[in-house]
Amino acid sequence: MIHKLMLYNTLTRRKEVFEPLNPPHVGLYVCGPTVYGDPHLGHARPAITFDVLFRYLQHLGYKVRYVRNITDVGHLENDADEGEDKVARKARLEQLEPMEIVQYYTIRYHQAMDALNVKRPSIEPHASGHIIEQIEMVKRIMEQGFAYESNGSVYFDVLKYNTKHHYGKLSGRSVDELLSNTRELDGQAEKRNGFDFALWKKAQPEHIMRWPSPWSDGFPGWHMECSAMGTRYLGETFDIHGGGMDLVFPHHEAEIAQSVAANGREAVRYWLHNNMITINGQKMGKSLGNFINLEEFFKGSHEKLERAYSPMNIRFFILQAHYRGTVDFSNEALQAAEKGYRRLMEAAKTIHKLKPSDHSDTDVSALRNKCYEAMDDDLNTPQLIAHLFEAVRIINSVNDGHEVLTAVDIELLVDLIQVFAIDILGLSDETSTGGDDQLVEGLMQTILSLRKDARDRKDWPTSDKIRDRLKEVGIQVKDTREGASWSRD
């Protein structure tokens, strides 16, 4: 079948047919984490959303260059050009080098994402590794007259830009509205207008992360990194830019303005945004006591959690909602999702036991087409999961002898589960016994056969020694007429 992948473009506010600029190549940029704390649910949702997009585009045959940045400098406390750098603040509190904080939390992030079976991107650039590119882009914006220097810092001139272009087109805001909503803040006297944003900030004496520039020793504004690194790795115009809805304004709005100001054209063709996560109907927040990080979910070590929830449980739960809808986490909802996930994984095993018949009661290829239609409809994963449960129903029904399928259709069903559940949704089977158990079984058979050799030659001390040593590590050996068997204590 011919795929017409429809994606909802935040910029045009409608679903559009996805047509890459240079097929089969696709450039995908997603805003990654600011690495100053443990990864939490807010990190899991965009990572999983765009992982599914990455996987699906690859499945359709595209060669995807997926760039997801690491923000290690320039993200200030209040997101509005004031306050301390988030990484630098953590470094000060922990009495560590900023790059120690970055290294530590980048590893923590990778570990959590690996557990969630999120594929690593093609390139994971650090903001601090692209200061030169950011300075060059600030220079170009100044040359075009859309930025001004003030006291060693450089600000984007929103009003001037808005005389030629539309600032606010992504978030649906107008400059008039911004003007009436902007309070005059102390310490923003450097800016011509409160909503102008920093492209470069002069570092205060106590600020440790600083680089030389034509304007001052300082650091780039937060929005600069994604514009500079997107251009650096995907070109001045690329296909898809993703991120959480909370980044639409000001971060992505600023990115659009920066690219248009520097290059005379927009960088991004399709803007995709995932919705937010709430916990028991509330926004996640440190002050609300519901800020649960991923490790706490995996271990069940937060007071709001009745028990541990596995990474695949979390992944399946997130995918049960469409990425543009909200997701509300609760113990009940997670436990319901776990049942669904287990049922799917059980069926994925049962399918290999099905006996073929000479005809089929169900049209499996029609079901497969429905699965593609769901994914082509703006990555409708809840719809896809509903179709997968129809596959589960068929598998169980054939296994119970209520329905029949031909060998060809059974193969088609095996393929459908593999492609949609495993490859595209990225679910892996946590319920299987795993490779370790097979290894232990193999080792035990080797040890027991050596013990049998000893007994056959009436070498009782060696035979007893093996039995006693195994007992010490918690393994019981039982001698029966059929030979020795073993079990864990």
Q: Which positions lie near Zn ion, rule CB under 5 A?
A: 31, 226
Which residue reads 């896809």 in tokens? Answer: 384
Task: Identify which of residues 226 and 410 has a Cβ nearer to Zn ion in the complex.
Answer: 226
247/375 with CB nearer Zn ion: 247
Q: How far is the CB of 228 from Zn ion (least distance, A)?
A: 11
Angle, in degrees to the nearest 10, between helices 311-319 and 331-350? 100
| Identity of the residue, 79 or 295, whose beta carbon is nearer to Zn ion in the bound complex | 79
- Tell me if residue 330 falls in helix, strand or coil: coil
Question: Can you tell me the distance from the alpha carbon of 440 to that of 424, in angstroms, rounded to the nearest whole number?
Answer: 32
274 vs 381, beta carbon nearer Zn ion: 274
Nearest-approach distance from CB 32 to Zn ion, in angstroms = 8
CA distances from 154 to 151, 187, 218 (A): 8, 15, 10
- Distance between CA 364 and CA 466 in Å, rounded? 54
CB of 31 to Zn ion, least distance (A): 3
Q: Contacts for 96-99 with beta carbons within 8 Å, 24 or more apart?
A: 98/72, 98/73, 98/208, 98/209, 99/72, 99/128
Cβ atoms of 241 and 230 within 8 Å: the answer is yes
Closest separation in Å from C-beta 446 to Zn ion: 54
Residue number, 226 or 448, with CB nearest to Zn ion: 226
Q: Which is nearer to Zn ion, 5 or 73 (CB)?
A: 73
What is the chain's length?
489
User: CA angle 82-148-257, nearest 5°?
Assistant: 80
Cβ closest to Zn ion, residue 74 vs residue 311:
74
In the bound complex, what is the minimum distance in angstroms from residue 131's beta carbon to Zn ion?
16
Q: Please state the closest distance from residue 176 (CB atom) to Zn ion, in A.
A: 27
CB of 320 to Zn ion, least distance (A): 27
Q: Residue 387: what are its φ and ψ, rounded to 5°?
A: -65, -35
First and final C-alpha spacing in the chain: 55
